[in-house]
Amino acid sequence: MNNKTQIITMLKEEFNRWEELLASLTEAQLTAPHLPGNWSIKDVVAHLRAWQQVSIARLEAAQLNQEPVYPAWLAGLDPESEEDTEQFNATIYETYHERPWSSVYQDWREGFLRCLELGETIPDDDLLDTEKYPWLEGYSLFDILQGTYEHHHEDHLEPLLSWLRERGNIEIVG
């Protein structure tokens, strides 16, 4: 897949799926630490929000033709560093865990919509160019959008839906 319209459509559908799921749960269900690692659904949403910040930094940098300014939680480390992923995730958890659900949700929602807005406004040629932004090290902005979709969908939404279905907590199809 390398079609801007297709990835934007997929991201919009994914946003709607998350919105449907989140609206179907009570605040108690959203904030109870009943997921593996004693995470709550709120913690998962906060995790997604934190990683959105990286994607947004890259998309905004492309629009401004400058280097990305990454969020402070990265502590100057490379967001692509797989060896630092556990540290990143622990920092994200510590940063957001005590925040109220309404704040985490609002930030996630605004971040997702901002990511979509940026993706829609970047010209197709720029979105697909693997050489225009050297700080992407051979990747394209399209890869950033696709990674956002995969992180939300494959890495988090599908396992979360399966986990909730197994426990009979939801009746969402899809």
Identify the residue with better confidence: 124 or 34.
124
CATH code for the domain of 10: 1.20.120.450
**In the structure, what pLDDT confidence band is assigned to residue 174 with cuts at 50, 70 and 90?**
very low
Q: Which of 116-120, 136-140, 162-166 has the weakest average pLDDT?
A: 162-166
Q: What is the mean pLDDT of residues 12-33?
A: 93
The reply to whether 21 falls in a domain is yes
Q: Is the pLDDT of residue 153 over 80?
A: no
Looking up tokens 């906060």, which residue turns up?
Answer: 46
Asked if the structure places residue 173 within a domain, the reply is no
pLDDT (0 to 100) of residue 173: 46
Domain presence at residue 56: yes
Does residue 171 belong to any structural domain of this protein? no
**Structure confidence by residue, pLDDT tens digits, 114-130:** 999 999 999 999 999 99
Domain count of the fold of the chain: 1
Residue 42 belongs to some domain of the structure: yes
Asked if residue 149 is part of any domain, the answer here is yes
Per-residue pLDDT of 71-89, as tens digits, reads 988 888 888 878 888 888 8
Assess whether pLDDT exceeds 90 at residue 99: yes
**For residues 50 and 166, what is the distance between their CA atoms, to the nearest angstrom?**
28
Opening angle at CA 99, ends 110 and 25, nearest 5: 70
Torsion of Cα atoms, 148 then 153 then 156 then 162, to 10°: 180
Is residue 63 domain-resident? yes
The whole-chain average pLDDT of the chain stands at 89
Residues 29-55 have a mean pLDDT of: 91
Which pair of structure tokens corresponds to residue 34? Answer: 């009943």
Domain extent for 62? 4-166
Give the pLDDT score at 169.
58
Q: Contact 46/99 with Cβ under 8 angstroms?
A: yes
Q: Is residue 115 part of a domain?
A: yes
Q: What is the mean pLDDT of residues 143-156?
A: 88
